[in-house]
């Protein structure tokens, strides 16, 4: 089968263009596909839309499955064609033309309905492309970016210049509690620490100049009294004046304290301080659980001279000795059978009977004779004068008191001791001659000497105190006058009776009680009340007051570990030690002095942040 296919194109300005194509084959296919003999390039046409065939000399057209045809404007699936027949395939019209020689049939193909109104209308009412969402992309970009720059930068910046707090309102100073918030406070890089929160929104309080890091002056305007860590002259590498406050105290870290507590900070030097300084006496310390020296208590070396010693650690042999001038065997007082109390009978003493915490619960109140000892240890010295007791704590007065007691007894008479002379034992009130008076006063002096140097004097004191020998010295009172009954001396001298020398051969060593054995560390009993005293303090086996009953570090370490400890209470250096040592001078003495001078002239308001700092601080004795 040989066919001629005429592609007809009508030009817009009139006229027709015709292009002839020759197709051969038993079946002539019309469709969109490139392989079709009759090519109908339009989307409405199927790939293989229709087939033209010759059957017994007749031309037939048939639609492919699912395709539609119109033959002479009638919908049809198949149909016979004659010259003049018009087949519509989608927008194309195929007209059968009169036969020509050499061709079985001739058809003219023309696009008669370009994609028409239906498509245009469908496209017009449909929106199938995302062109804009409300605004164009560019507008969204400008809007969002503009809002960010304006809202977060320009507005706060301009407001800060125009209506921000004036400079004099920003200055930070001790005692000032009202600060004007800055509009720029939304620029904060994080919450201010709890202590500084009250001026947190007033940026210029600390940030005095733009693009300049915060200067120490901002901190020192309140914290001028903060002390050094070590003496700068001896340990120049630890001179804090070389560093800015904010090297260590980082603000804007949240509502927390800005005091450093990390172990590594201290360990940086203290893990091997010896390599940094030959002057240090401190051992290596980097972690409380793993590397920390044994405790080295500051003990009394000589109670009389008030000298202290910090040379021995608790685990040394011999261990450090507390030479307090006192004798006190803890074991005897705590023994299981109890001790004899003159009033209550046998009692079992407990630690708390003598050791009571002070107001803060931090340390124990100093033990005192009157409160803790006197109940059992009354200072009675003569069973014939059972109501008299020696005055505790004033050895000079004691000498005078004892002389006075016996002098009065001798003058009055009636002292029933068998060994006493008859004059003294006489009926009370019997008058004495001057010579007799001299004799009895001499007796009184001798008796007082006997008592004071005997068991009820020296012996009684020596039960608890160290006795210092003062042989040859004349006992004197607090004014340096002789105490040995001066009137007796003069009376005896007048009567021609030889005067017995009132010789004071001993005195009590002034005791020294240690308040803190480890003054460079902080410990509070208040947070350890659930622990029994004896779990830390080996008092039950202590036989001597010179025993330092501090627990060894091993006992602390049984509960406390280093900062990163997993099986102990994580404890870091500053849990026990202060970095800015209160026993040292301020880091900035001139600022501290100026501050103090200013404070002196100004009545402080109620809520004064400086009060806590200006309160007298304990200054530990450094040995």
Partner 1 sequence: MHESILVYRKHRYLKWALALAVVSALFYMIDSPLGQPNGGTWLGYTLGTISGGLMVWLAWFGVRKRRYGLGNVPLEDWLSAHVYLGIALALIATLHAGFQLGFNIHSALYILMMITIISGLVGLYFYISYPRLLTENRRGLSTEVMLAQIAELDRDLRQIAMTMDDATNAATLKATQDTIIGGSLMQQLRGHDEHCPTTQARLFVEGSDGGPQDAQRRQLLTRLIRKEDLLKRIRRDVQLRCLLKVWLYVHIPFSIAALAALVTHVVTVFYYW
- Provide the binding-site residues for partner 1, judged by CB under 8 A: 42-44, 66, 68, 75, 90, 115-116, 118-119, 121-123, 125-130, 133, 137, 140-141, 143-149, 152-153, 184, 186-191, 203, 207, 210-214, 247-248, 250, 252-254, 258, 260, 262, 264-265
Q: How far is the CB of 197 from partner 1 (least distance, A)?
A: 14
Using the minimum distance from each CB to partner 1, give the nearer residue, 126 or 178.
126
Q: Of 440, 474, 460, nearest to 508 (Cα)?
A: 460
* Token pair 């033990």 in the structure block, residue: 367
Residue 62 vs 505, nearer CB to partner 1 = 62
CB of 26 to partner 1, least distance (A): 28
Q: Nearest distance from residue 250's CB to partner 1, in Å?
A: 4
Token readout for 427 is: 């009926």
Beta-carbon contacts of residue 195 (< 8 Å; ≥ 6 apart):
257, 258
Instruction: Look at the block and give the residue holding tokens 């004197």.
Output: 476
| Residue among 210 and 418 whose Cβ is closer to partner 1 | 210
* 251 vs 322 by CB, closer to partner 1: 251
DSSP characters over 334-365: T-TT-EEETTTEEE---HHHH--B-TTSSSBP
**Between 46 and 550, CB nearer to partner 1:** 46
DSSP bridge partners of 29: 51
> At its nearest, how many Å lie between partner 1 and the CB of residue 204?
9
Q: How far is CA 529 from CA 357, 518, 570, in A?
A: 10, 20, 19
CB of 90 to partner 1, least distance (A): 6
Q: Do 70 and 76 meet the contact criterion of CB atoms below 8 Å apart?
A: yes
| Closer residue to partner 1, CB minimum distance, 118 or 487 | 118
Cis preceding-peptide flag for 318 (omega within 30 of 0): yes
Q: How far is the CB of 110 from partner 1 (least distance, A)?
A: 17
Cα(74)–Cα(82) distance, rounded to whole angstroms?
15
Q: Which is nearer to partner 1, 143 or 593 (CB)?
A: 143
Name beta bridge partners: 309. 299
Report the run of H or E that residue 121 belongs to, with start and end. helix 117-125
How near is the Cβ of 184 to partner 1 at its closest, in Å? Answer: 7
Tell me the closest approach of the beta carbon of residue 352 to partner 1, in angstroms. Answer: 42
By beta-carbon proximity to partner 1, the closer residue of 123 and 473 is: 123
Could you tell me which residues come within 8 angstroms of residue 458 by beta carbon, excluding any fewer than 6 positions away?
452, 467, 506
CB of 150 to partner 1, least distance (A): 9
**Alpha carbons 61 and 458: distance in angstroms, whole number:** 148
Query: Cβ closer to partner 1: 118 or 621?
Result: 118
What are the residues facing 326 on neighbouring strands? 465
Question: Would you say 543 and 329 are in contact if contact means Cβ atoms under 8 Å apart?
Answer: yes
Nearer to partner 1, 89 or 484 (CB): 89
Cα separations (Å) of 505 from 304, 407, 448? 17, 20, 13
418 three-state secondary structure: coil
**For residue 14, how many other CB atoms are within 10 A of its CB?**
6
Distance in Å, CB of 566 to partner 1, minimum: 18
For residues 61-72, one letter each, b for 16 or more C-beta atoms within 10 angstroms of the residue's C-beta and e for the rest, the string is bebbeebbbbbe
């Amino acid at each position: 089968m040989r066919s001629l296919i005429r592609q007809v194109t009508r030009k817009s300005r009139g006229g027709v263009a015709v292009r002839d194509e020759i197709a051969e084959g038993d079946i002539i296919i019309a469709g969109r596909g490139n392989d079709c003999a009759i090519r109908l390039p339009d989307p409405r046409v199927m790939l293989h839309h229709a087939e033209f065939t010759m059957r017994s000399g007749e031309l037939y057209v048939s639609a492919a499955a699912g395709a539609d045809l119109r033959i002479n404007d009638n919908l049809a699936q198949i149909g016979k064609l004659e010259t003049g027949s018009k087949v519509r395939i989608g927008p194309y019209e195929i007209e059968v033309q009169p036969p020509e020689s050499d061709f079985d049939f001739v058809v003219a193909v023309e696009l008669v309905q370009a994609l028409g109104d239906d498509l245009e209308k469908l496209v017009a009412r449909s929106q199938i492309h995302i062109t804009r969402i409300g605004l164009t992309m560019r507008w969204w970009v400008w809007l969002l970016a503009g809002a960010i720059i304006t809202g977060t930068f320009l507005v706060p910046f301009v407001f800060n210049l125009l209506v921000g707090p004036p400079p004099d309102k920003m200055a930070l100073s001790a005692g000032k509690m009202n600060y004007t918030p800055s509009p720029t406070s939304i620029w904060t890089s994080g919450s201010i620490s709890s202590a500084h929160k009250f001026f947190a929104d007033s940026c210029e309080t600390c940030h005095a100049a733009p693009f300049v890091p915060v200067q120490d002056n901002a901190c020192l305007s309140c914290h001028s009294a903060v002390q050094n860590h070590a003496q700068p002259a001896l340990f120049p590498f630890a001179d804090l004046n070389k560093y800015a406050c904010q090297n260590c105290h980082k603000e804007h870290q949240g509502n927390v304290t800005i005091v450093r507590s990390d172990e590594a900070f201290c360990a940086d030097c203290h893990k091997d301080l010896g390599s940094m300084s030959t002057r240090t006496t401190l051992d290596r310390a980097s972690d409380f659980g793993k590397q920390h020296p044994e405790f080295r208590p500051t003990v009394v070396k000589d109670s009389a001279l008030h000298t202290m010693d910090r040379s021995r650690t608790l685990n040394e042999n011999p261990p450090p000795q507390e030479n307090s001038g006192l004798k006190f065997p803890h074991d005897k007082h705590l023994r299981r059978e109890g001790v004899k109390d003159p009033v209550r009978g046998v009692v079992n003493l407990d630690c708390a009977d003598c050791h009571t915490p002070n107001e803060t619960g931090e340390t124990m109140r100093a033990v005192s004779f009157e409160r803790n000892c006197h109940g059992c240890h009354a200072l009675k010295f003569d069973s014939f004068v059972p109501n008299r007791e020696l005055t505790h704590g004033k050895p000079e007065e004691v000498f005078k008191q004892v002389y006075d007691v016996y002098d009065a007894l001798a003058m009055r008479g009636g002292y029933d001791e068998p060994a006493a002379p008859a004059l003294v034992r006489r009926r009370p009130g019997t008058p004495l001659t001057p010579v007799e008076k001299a004799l009895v006063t001499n007796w009184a002096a001798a008796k007082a000497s006997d008592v004071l140097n005997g068991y009820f004097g020296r012996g009684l004191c020596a039960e608890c105190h160290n006795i210092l020998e003062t042989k040859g010295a004349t006992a004197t009172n607090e004014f340096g006058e002789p105490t040995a009954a001066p009137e007796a001396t003069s009376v005896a001298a007048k009567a021609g009776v030889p005067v017995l020398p009132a010789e004071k051969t001993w005195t009590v060593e002034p005791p020294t009680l240690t308040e803190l054995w480890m003054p460079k560390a902080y410990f509070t009993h208040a947070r350890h009340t659930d622990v029994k005293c004896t779990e830390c303090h080996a008092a039950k086996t202590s036989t001597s007051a010179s025993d330092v009953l501090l627990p060894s570090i091993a006992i602390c370490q049984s509960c406390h570990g280093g900062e990163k400890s997993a099986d102990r209470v994580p404890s870091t250096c500053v849990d026990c030690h202060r970095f800015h040592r209160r026993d040292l001078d301020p880091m900035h003495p001139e600022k501290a002095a100026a501050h103090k001078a200013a404070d002196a002239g100004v009545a402080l308001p109620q809520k004064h942040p400086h009060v806590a700092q200006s309160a007298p601080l304990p200054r530990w004795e450094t040995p």
